[in-house]
Chains A and B, each alone.
Chain A
Amino acid sequence: MSHNIVEKIWQQHVVQRQAGFPDVLAIDFALLHEVTSAQAFAELDRRGLPVHDPKRFLATIDHSIPTREDRHQVHDPQALKQMTALRENCQQHGIALCDVGSQKQGIVHVIGPELGLTQPGMTLVCGDSHTATHGAFGALAFGIGTSTLAHVMATGALLMNPPRVMQVQFNGQLPQGVYAKDMIMHLIAQIGVDGGTGLVLEYTGQAVRDLSMEQRMTLCNMSIECGAVAGLVAPDQTTFEYLQGRPHAPQGAEWDAAVKHWQTLVSDPGCRYDRSVTLDIGQLAPMVSWGTNPEQAIPINQSIPHAARDQADALNYVGMTVEQAVQGVPIDWAFVGSCTNGRIEDLRVVADILRHRVIDPRVTMYVVPGSEAVRQQAIDEGLDRIFQQAGAEFRQPGCSMCLGMNDDRVPVGARCISTTNRNFIGRQGTGSITHLASPATVAHSALAGYITHPISPMAQQEAS
């Protein structure tokens, strides 16, 4: 019998199957952060339950912290309370915490892979919808709410029905200047913000095989933006090379045994999928969102389609009209960071574009590394100086401007081109306008002062 990768991982984690009930699914690992965990700890305390196996948990502080230089000074008393609660809860329950100031602190979906905690074939959860990021390693990783987190903390398992699986095949070779971010934005624009509901997406095809681990993480990260339960990529040599030697990766004989097991975690030829979609990316252009959800996105060289006239609320909010080109729209802010595009490879792309150049004086640009490790690496490579010389601010790691809940917010009415994952109304701050794009598009736009990318016709005209 041939199986797809999701069925294999599922079968290896079902503890119990009982008619009329969802499966009891064993969870290998859970990541915690300060925003969604306090009420879960409180539930355990209320019932007098211990954490079932504290070494299967790792916590970090990322969402509500400032990213300025003196970020130890938290001015928001509520945020401080939340951080203190996480510290106390971790201490009380024996859970390791990557606190601010630790070399391992960072955005929850950046540090898991970096530390080698995220491994193929695992079930991994976090009280955060972008947990699918970890699927880049061939793990079944998905976001859960606070109550479910309490279930996992208390028992090491949760109740869930086996998900349906959709194969998303990317064919062709990515053109120069086009990235995984553009691939996933293209998919979401095609299938819509609810096109993945109830499904785990397996990303397949040569274009996916060709991606680095950082790019695969970007791809999987935004699976939730089409409503998918999770997204994943079967592990291969690229995965193993990334993992080998990381702090929590297996070593020696254990490593060999692990790789042998991981190699079995591929979808068998002829396996069944509930749905399939094939996309050719050989001609893909950089994608930019124009509206207030990630499906409202178009190639940068196109105009907002006439059909968007039905989406008047979105158009009004962003101050754009049908048939208007996205390219050339002036921007006030440029943001590089988040669990979607805050990794070292993203920063390198941005630095390559900004090197020896200066951003438009009307633009405020933040470059926020996804973790301490990314920040350190960027400094070691001299990227920080490139950002600073270009007029961008290189800041301390955290979620930052990805969501308006810490000090970093896009002001009311300001327009931001951003490497993040959500352009929801007010996501980056009340009244802010977001255009999602790849790090390269953000960097080029920051230089120009308007949305652009050199491979697009308008920029070529200017150059000639």
Chain B
Amino acid sequence: MKSAIKTVRGRSVPMLLDDIDTDIIIPAQYLTQTSKSGYGQHAFARLRQADPDFVLNQPAYQGAKVLLAGANFGCGSSREHAVWAIQEMGIEAVIAPSFADIFSNNAQKNHLPLITLSAADCQRLAQLPPAQAIEIDLLRCTIAAGDAVMSFAINPFFQHVLTAGIDELDHLLAQQAAIQRFHAQQQRRQYFVRMPRGSA
């Protein structure tokens, strides 16, 4: 069981670049670890190193809990390290006009809320002063920023996973008998091709 997340409240940091790929989030040279931690310090390393004034380097945005990103965020590799790195930075939710599929799946498994918000509303949030906190309500699918309230879309199962604290592996394990039956039946089917005998 994981703990349920119903709201995320905190300051946001605007990084409205489109097509931020997983190599930018966490470059391959940092992937030779065997654990899930140790990536946060390298997150967005190239962007941060290239420009001392890059938004993630600015003192005003330190401690932000919400990352405001551009379209197609997380495209590229399947590396879950990208999600672990973002979480280790202290980010508790990402808001963007769209997300890449594998990144989205990985975020769901790690209970990192991904909020799909129109580009116009993302722009509005980006205009907020750095000290202004926002509140994401995952049950109502709304974001409150000062007086403004915006609504967003989220995949219903993703929402359920977050707000009910569902562990997907537990959910699958509960159906293991059915899965095993299915594999066994399939193996008996005539066309089924025998799997390797375990010798490489």
Q: Which residue numbers of A lie inside 8 Å of B, CB to CB?
A: 15-16, 20-22, 24, 26, 28-29, 35-36, 38-39, 42-43, 47, 49, 52-56, 58, 63-64, 76, 78-79, 81-82, 85, 94-99, 102, 104, 115, 117, 119, 121, 127-129, 131, 143-148, 150-151, 154-159, 161, 193-194, 197-198, 224, 227, 229, 247-250, 254, 257-258, 260-262, 293, 403-405, 422, 424-427, 430
Chain A residues with Cβ below 8 Å from B32 are 35, 64, 76, 78-79, 81-82, 405
- Could you tell me if A293 and B19 are in contact, using CB atoms closer than 8 angstroms? yes
Docked complex Cα distance between A94 and B195 (Å)? 14
In the complex, B120 has a CB within 8 A of chain A: no
In the complex, B131 has a CB within 8 A of chain A: no
With contacts A97-B200, A148-B109 taken as known, whether A24 is within 8 angstroms of B175 at the C-beta atoms is: yes
Docked complex Cα distance between A115 and B200 (Å)? 10
B106, B182, B186, B193 — which one has the most chain A CB atoms within 10 A of its CB?
Answer: B193
- Could you tell me if A155 and B173 are in contact, using CB atoms closer than 8 angstroms? yes
Chain B residues with Cβ below 8 Å from A405 are 28-29, 31-32
Nearest residue (CB) in B for A95 is B198
Residue of A63, A98, A146 touching B200 (CB-CB under 8 A): A98
Chain A residues with Cβ below 8 Å from B160 are 20
Nearest residue (CB) in A for B168 is A159
Chain B residues with Cβ below 8 Å from A150 are 169
- Could you tell me if B195 and A194 are in contact, using CB atoms closer than 8 angstroms? no
Q: 1/0 contact trace for B150-173 toward A, CB 8 Å?
A: 000000110010000000110111
Residue of A55, A78, A95, A193 touching B72 (CB-CB under 8 A): A193
- Could you tell me if A104 and B156 are in contact, using CB atoms closer than 8 angstroms? no
In the complex, B127 has a CB within 8 A of chain A: no
- Could you tell me if A193 and B19 are in contact, using CB atoms closer than 8 angstroms? yes
In the complex, B62 has a CB within 8 A of chain A: no
Chain A residues with Cβ below 8 Å from B75 are 193-194, 227
With contacts A150-B169, A257-B191, A260-B191 taken as known, whether A424 is within 8 angstroms of B34 at the C-beta atoms is: no
Residue of B27, B34, B71 touching A426 (CB-CB under 8 A): B27
Chain A residues with Cβ below 8 Å from B28 are 63, 403-405, 427
Chain B residues with Cβ below 8 Å from A262 are 191
Within the complex, what minimum Cβ distance (angstroms) separates A463 from chain B?
39
With contacts A144-B102, A198-B101, A422-B76 taken as known, whether A156 is within 8 angstroms of B200 at the C-beta atoms is: no
Chain B residues with Cβ below 8 Å from A258 are 191, 193
In the complex, B121 has a CB within 8 A of chain A: no
- Could you tell me if A147 and B101 are in contact, using CB atoms closer than 8 angstroms? no
Chain B residues with Cβ below 8 Å from A427 are 23, 28
In the complex, B196 has a CB within 8 A of chain A: yes
Nearest residue (CB) in A for B100 is A227
Within the complex, what minimum Cβ distance (angstroms) separates B179 from chain A?
5
Docked complex Cα distance between A229 and B199 (Å)? 31
- Could you tell me if A147 and B106 are in contact, using CB atoms closer than 8 angstroms? yes
Residue of B36, B171, B190 touching A159 (CB-CB under 8 A): B171
Docked complex Cα distance between A259 and B175 (Å)? 32
B98, B105, B110, B156 — which one has the most chain A CB atoms within 10 A of its CB?
Answer: B105
Q: 1/0 contact trace for B102-135 toward A, CB 8 Å?
A: 1001100110000000000000000000000000
Q: A96-B198, A146-B80, A229-B101 are in contact. List 10 more A-B contacts (CB 8 A).
A: A82-B34, A97-B200, A143-B78, A147-B80, A147-B110, A148-B105, A156-B180, A159-B157, A254-B194, A258-B193
Residue of A53, A58, A129 touching B183 (CB-CB under 8 A): A53
Docked complex Cα distance between A144 and B101 (Å)? 10
Within the complex, what minimum Cβ distance (angstroms) separates B32 from chain A?
4
- Could you tell me if B197 and A55 are in contact, using CB atoms closer than 8 angstroms? yes
Docked complex Cα distance between A177 and B178 (Å)? 51
- Name 19 interchain pairs, CB-CB below 8 A, sorted by A: A15-B179, A16-B175, A20-B157, A26-B182, A28-B186, A39-B36, A54-B198, A85-B34, A96-B198, A96-B199, A154-B169, A155-B169, A159-B171, A197-B72, A250-B194, A257-B190, A257-B191, A293-B21, A424-B24
- Could you tell me if A15 and B175 are in contact, using CB atoms closer than 8 angstroms? yes
Docked complex Cα distance between A55 and B193 (Å)? 13
Considering the complex, which residues of chain B in the window 8-31 have a beta carbon less than 8 Å from any beta carbon of chain A? Answer: 19, 21, 23-24, 27-29, 31
Chain B residues with Cβ below 8 Å from A261 are 190-191
Docked complex Cα distance between A21 and B98 (Å)? 22
Docked complex Cα distance between A129 and B71 (Å)? 19
A39, A79, A229 — which one has the most chain B CB atoms within 10 A of its CB?
Answer: A39
Chain A residues with Cβ below 8 Å from B41 are none
With contacts A58-B196, A254-B193 taken as known, whether A422 is within 8 angstroms of B23 at the C-beta atoms is: yes
Docked complex Cα distance between A39 and B31 (Å)? 12
Nearest residue (CB) in B for A83 is B32
Docked complex Cα distance between A143 and B23 (Å)? 16
Residue of A28, A38, A159, A425 touching B46 (CB-CB under 8 A): A425
Chain A residues with Cβ below 8 Å from B175 are 15-16, 24, 155, 157
In the complex, B58 has a CB within 8 A of chain A: no
Residue of A64, A119, A143, A157 touching B172 (CB-CB under 8 A): A157
In the complex, B79 has a CB within 8 A of chain A: yes
Within the complex, what minimum Cβ distance (angstroms) separates B24 from chain A?
7
Chain A residues with Cβ below 8 Å from B200 are 58, 96-99, 102, 104
